[in-house]
Amino acid sequence: MSAASVQLDLFGEVEQAQQEASERVNARAAWQARFGRADWIAPWDTADGRPKGSVTRGWRCPDPDCGEIEPNDFLLSITHGFDPNVPGHRPLDGRCAKLRMLAGTPG
């Protein structure tokens, strides 16, 4: 191997990229640990063809006052404001958006 074919990492770019990738993996794992997985039981025949009473693995809202189970991460994100796949994605005040909306409605 000649000296011309060896590319040295003089500025540490490779190590920096590896460190950043490792930090992203750790951040995602820590974020997802906040979300509990639980069985969601279909309360009716669903649009995707699941019959009433079928069970699927869902996501639990991480807000301790809510804890409702949604059948997938998309519904958890749009209904409660938390996304288990995007570290740090949460409602503005860090509380469940669904509970905030329900509390704002006249009883």
Q: What is the pLDDT of residues 17-33, one digit of tens each?
A: 899 999 988 888 888 88
Contacting residues for 89 by C-beta, under 8 A, at least 6 apart: 77, 82, 83
63 domain-assigned = yes
Range(s) of the domain holding residue 74: 36-104
67 domain-assigned = yes
19 domain-assigned = no
Q: What is the pLDDT of residues 66-95, one digit of tens each?
A: 989 999 999 999 999 998 888 877 787 778
Structural domains counted in the chain: 1
Rounded Cα distance between 95 and 92, Å, is: 8
Using CB atoms within 10 A of its CB, is residue 59 exposed (0-12), middle (13-18) or buried (19+)?
buried
25 domain-assigned = no
74 domain-assigned = yes
What values do phi and psi take at 87, rounded to 5? Answer: -55, 130
76 domain-assigned = yes
31 domain-assigned = no
| pLDDT over 90, % of the chain | 31
Q: Position of tokens 């069970």?
A: 55
56 domain-assigned = yes
Rounded Cα distance between 23 and 99, Å, is: 32
Per the structure block, which two tokens stand in for 34?
A: 């906040």
Residue 36 confidence class, pLDDT cut points 50, 70, 90: confident
Residue 52 confidence class, pLDDT cut points 50, 70, 90: very high
Residue 1 confidence class, pLDDT cut points 50, 70, 90: low
